[in-house]
Amino acid sequence: MAIRGYVQQHGAGSAVVTGAGMLGLEAAHSLHELGLRVTVLERGERLLAKQVDARCSEFVHAHFEALGIEIRYSSAAACLPPGDRASAVRLKDGTSLPCDVFLAAVGIRPNIELAAVAGLAVNRGVLVDDRMQASVPGVFAAGDVAEHNGMLLGLWPIAAKQAEVAAVNAIGGDERLIAEVPATILKGVGLDVAAVGRTEAWSRRSGNRHRGPRKVPEARPHRRPRLRRRSSWPPPAGPGRGHYRGQAAASSRRRRPLRGASGRLVGADEASRARLSRRQADAPA
């Protein structure tokens, strides 16, 4: 509400947002909805590199580009000119961008000075184990300052879980943080994006091997079963029975032909009539 009021009061027409994370993109979209020309500065080579893969980054970039929001990669703000109102922002490469509104969404940077002076092991944050205990026994850390498994997640649900584990162990318990499953939800920008789990960027930082997507084998073409018709059924007795189709057919063809009452060869229809006549003749009166 304060930003909306400032834009309306001063008639702002352009805005620069440094930081293209979830909050930065959501802020850029909100400023765009207010009618401002928005430019987003991203230090990396693509959007949401810590949360999604390169293909998904392309979709997000295309969406914001279609809205008319400019995204500059490998760019970061250096300083603002003195004064009560923003008029331009100087970038680290020496260039300047005019803007009426400047918004920084650059994530978290833990203050580790006190921990370092106290003798705790630090890197980007205070190093902790699965019990959220620092390198000095009896000292625990949780939340944005805690670096666990090489990661500073800066997410509220995980920070709350870390605090629970640290509190249990601080009073003599033995609780461990089994797994952290980072979740990313980008909403309110006209594009819903959700990602759950560890990403390729996390694997590189933690030293784990990233297997990447698995290749799905190509489906084999479906073949309809063929029904083979035998030359005669039931199969003939003799050597041909139970053998291959050709042998059975040959055996069938070698059967003794039927002869009529006159001794001549007869066809199938005439043979049937001959059999019927003999049965009638043999039948008792």
Best CATH choice for the domain 2-104 from the list 3.20.20.70, 3.30.470.20, 3.10.20.600, 3.50.50.60:
3.50.50.60
Average pLDDT of span 139-146:
96
- Classified as helix, coil or strand, 242 is coil
Report the predicted TM-score, pTM, of the whole model to 2 decimal places. Answer: 0.63
Task: Give yes or no for a contact between 134 and 115, defined as CB atoms under 8 angstroms apart.
Answer: yes
Between 275 and 82, where is the model more confident?
82
Average pLDDT of span 140-144:
96
- Classified as helix, coil or strand, 96 is strand
Could you tell me where the DSSP H helices lie in the chain?
Answer: 2-10, 22-33, 54-67, 113-117, 156-170, 200-206, 245-253, 268-282
**How many whole angstroms separate alpha carbon 53 and alpha carbon 210?**
12
Q: What are the pLDDT digits (tens) for 90-120?
A: 999 999 999 999 999 988 899 999 999 999 9
**How many whole angstroms separate alpha carbon 206 and alpha carbon 149?**
6
Q: What are the pLDDT digits (tens) for 232-285?
A: 555 555 554 544 454 544 444 555 555 555 555 455 566 667 776 777 677 665
Tokens coding 177: 């943080």
CATH topology of domain 113-206: FAD/NAD(P)-binding domain (3.50.50)
pLDDT of residue 26: 95
pLDDT of residue 236: 55
Domains 2-104 and 113-206 share a fold: yes
* All structural domains of the chain with their residue ranges: 2-104, 113-206, 231-278
Tokens coding 17: 């947002």
Q: What are the pLDDT digits (tens) for 147-197?
A: 998 888 888 888 999 999 999 999 999 999 987 667 778 888 999 888 887
pLDDT of residue 156: 86
Residue entry with tokens 């029975």: 241
pLDDT of residue 216: 46
